[in-house]
Amino acid sequence: MIPTIDRSLEKFDVEYFEKNSTRGTFVKNIDNDIIIEDRQSFGYIRQQYDNNSMFNKNILFYRSGNIKEKGIAFNGGSPIGVWYYFDESGKLVKEENTDGGYDFTPEKVVRYCEKNKIELPKGYHESGFYTQVRKETLDDKKVWVIKYLIPGGDIQRVVLDGQTGKELEKKVVPFVSS
């Protein structure tokens, strides 16, 4: 269910990207994946979406094309698992377990959503509002915040305790288009 990623070194082909991108974006369709590469202020980003997964791979690169960081995130949401950080020469300098303090794991969040008929987005979506799963801190407590559309066009906001998964809050908030 959750893609894997490791600490291996990766390189971004800056020359190929600059030659083939349109307005700083390049999209590839490979088998069941959509890969989106974008120019960013720090360099470049590659996001890889599997059409059957609620998670995506994110790899950030310096302007030189050397890897900056990489990890997995919920589609439209927060990082999960271990993220890897590299210096400009490509040397691994840090590993961060983004799930630290969250005994209620991403897999349990997915099961909660399935049980409560909350549809999590699979694959890449170009536009529109899709369910968001984010990690936040509320009153010095780590929580999961899930926001999803409900009939009538509003958003249901659910806050789950990051340790136990207990519902701490459930309320309707108005949908505001940006």
| pLDDT value of position 11 | 96
Q: Residues of the chain with pLDDT > 70: what percent?
A: 99
**CATH 3.10.450 assigned to 106-173:** yes
Report the side by side order of strands in the sheet with 92-97. 25-30, 33-39, 43-50, 55-62, 67-74, 79-86, 92-97
Write down the mean pLDDT value for the chain: 94
| pLDDT value of position 125 | 84
CA–CA gap between residue 10 and residue 64 (Å, rounded): 12
Q: What is the arithmetic mean of pLDDT over 53-68?
A: 97
Q: Name the amino acid, one letter, at 111.
A: R
CA–CA gap between residue 49 and residue 45 (Å, rounded): 13
| pLDDT value of position 126 | 78
Q: Which class for 115: exposed (0-12), middle (13-18), buried (19 or more C-beta within 10 A)?
A: exposed
CA–CA gap between residue 164 and residue 162 (Å, rounded): 6
Q: Over the stretch 122-135, which tens digit does the pLDDT of each residue have?
A: 998 877 789 999 99
Model confidence at 178, pLDDT cuts 50, 70, 90, reads: low
Q: Over the stretch 77-101, which tens digit does the pLDDT of each residue have?
A: 999 999 999 999 999 999 999 999 9
Residue by residue, what is the 3-state secondary structure of the chain?
CCCCCCCCCCECCHHHHHHHCECCEEEEEECCEEEEEEECCCEEEEEEEECCCCEEEEEEEECCCEEEEEEEEECCCCEEEEEEEECCCCCEEEEEECCCCCCCCHHHHHHHHHHCCCCCCCCCCCCCCCCEEEEEEECCEEEEEEEEECCCCCEEEEEEECCCCCEEEEEEECCCCC
pLDDT at 176 over 80: no
Task: Provide the whole-model pTM.
Answer: 0.90
Q: What is the arithmetic mean of pLDDT over 26-32?
A: 89
| pLDDT value of position 135 | 97
Model confidence at 177, pLDDT cuts 50, 70, 90, reads: low
Q: Break the chain into its structural domains and give their ranges.
A: 14-97, 106-173
